């Protein structure tokens, strides 16, 4: 007997919330983003105000933007990008590629293309040099003073930081990604509400064509919290509640295509 898809229950639960906030045209991806920046203000008591911006891309990732999802129904700009105003590296640069499931060293799984039968997994890696010399001196006044007095030559300081970065670079043994699927369990009355999942796994993508186990999860062997727990809900994209992060996109959902996640442990 075929099992009912789980996600429509989440959509049903939050449709009332989104229709109260969103009025006018049906909240589809085309009138939400249209290739431009869509600021999403996050507010809440005792929570710093953040502002998420979302836009689409054909594959080239502009500086300062992070790829986080894929709309396989969009033939022009299928990749979804995000950035926020607080604690964000505006100089970051990413590249993306596809995979059948094997994750090369230095690459991170971040999305899933339900229509690609050969290489459905989307991988990303940061290619920008995250270390900035002037910013480093501002954060380390003692070193800045020594550098100014030429006690630590600039070239020696830069070489030392680069050497430390190379030592911390991922290795095949240190980066072993595992991926699995799940349906999740509803938290709330009568089986409705947010979806929760087992500890130790992080949600990172959604397979719109899988009616049984649509959510994709990941974990790795090195520097990983095996006790972490997450919950998931959907959004039209116009308003993202405080504390929630956009992480995936459901191409088959015309009302609440954006998937949000929040760590609860």
Task: Tell me the three state secondary structure of residue 32.
Answer: helix
pLDDT (tens digit per residue) in 32-45: 444 444 444 434 43
In a domain? residue 2: no
pLDDT (tens digit per residue) in 16-35: 333 222 233 333 444 344 44
pLDDT given at position 139: 65
Q: How far is CA 46 from CA 43, 243, 263, in A?
A: 9, 11, 17
In a domain? residue 54: yes
Q: Is the pLDDT of residue 95 over 70?
A: yes
* pTM recorded for the entire structure: 0.65
Could you give phi then psi for residue 158, rounded to 5 degrees? Answer: -65, -45
Number of domains in the chain: 1
pLDDT given at position 170: 54
pLDDT given at position 173: 53
Task: Tell me the residue range of the domain where 55 lies.
Answer: 7-263
Pairing of strands 177-182, 215-220: antiparallel
Task: State how far the Cα of 234 lies from the Cα of 201, in Å rounded to an integer.
Answer: 19
Q: Which of 59, 49, 101 is nearest to 79 (CA)?
A: 59
Q: How far is CA 42 from CA 13, 25, 82, 204, in A?
A: 21, 22, 14, 21
> 160, exposed or middle or buried, with CB in 10 Å at 0-12, 13-18, 19+?
exposed
Could you give phi then psi for residue 248, rounded to 5 degrees? Answer: -160, 175
In a domain? residue 155: yes
pLDDT (tens digit per residue) in 158-183: 777 666 655 555 555 556 788 889 88
Could you give phi then psi for residue 155, rounded to 5 degrees? Answer: -65, -40
């Amino acid at each position: 007997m075929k099992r009912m898809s789980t996600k429509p229950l989440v959509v049903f639960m939050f449709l009332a919330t989104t229709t109260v906030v969103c009025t006018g045209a049906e909240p589809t991806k085309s009138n939400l983003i249209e290739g431009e920046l869509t600021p999403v203000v996050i507010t809440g008591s005792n929570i710093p105000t953040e502002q998420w911006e979302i836009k689409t891309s054909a594959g080239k990732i502009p500086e300062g933007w992070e790829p986080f999802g894929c709309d396989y129904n969009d033939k022009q700009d299928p990749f979804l990008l995000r950035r926020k105003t607080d604690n964000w590296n505006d100089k970051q640069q990413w590249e993306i590629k596809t995979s059948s499931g094997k994750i090369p060293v230095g690459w991170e799984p971040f999305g899933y293309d339900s229509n690609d039968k050969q290489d459905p997994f989307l991988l990303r890696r940061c290619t920008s040099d995250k270390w900035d010399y002037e910013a480093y001196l501002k954060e380390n006044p003692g070193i800045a003073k020594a550098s100014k007095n030429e006690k630590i030559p600039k070239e020696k300081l830069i070489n030392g930081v680069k050497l430390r970065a190379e030592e911390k670079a991922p290795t095949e043994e240190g980066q072993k990604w595992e991926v699995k699927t799940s349906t999740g369990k509803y938290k709330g009355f009568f089986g409705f509400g947010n979806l929760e999942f087992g500890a130790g796994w992080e949600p990172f993508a959604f397979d719109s064509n899988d009616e049984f186990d649509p959510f994709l999860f990941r974990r790795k062997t090195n520097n990983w919290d095996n006790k972490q727990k997450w919950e998931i809900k959907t959004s039209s994209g116009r308003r993202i509640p405080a504390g929630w992060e956009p992480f995936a996109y459901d191409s088959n959902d015309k009302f609440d295509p954006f998937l949000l996640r929040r760590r609860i442990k």
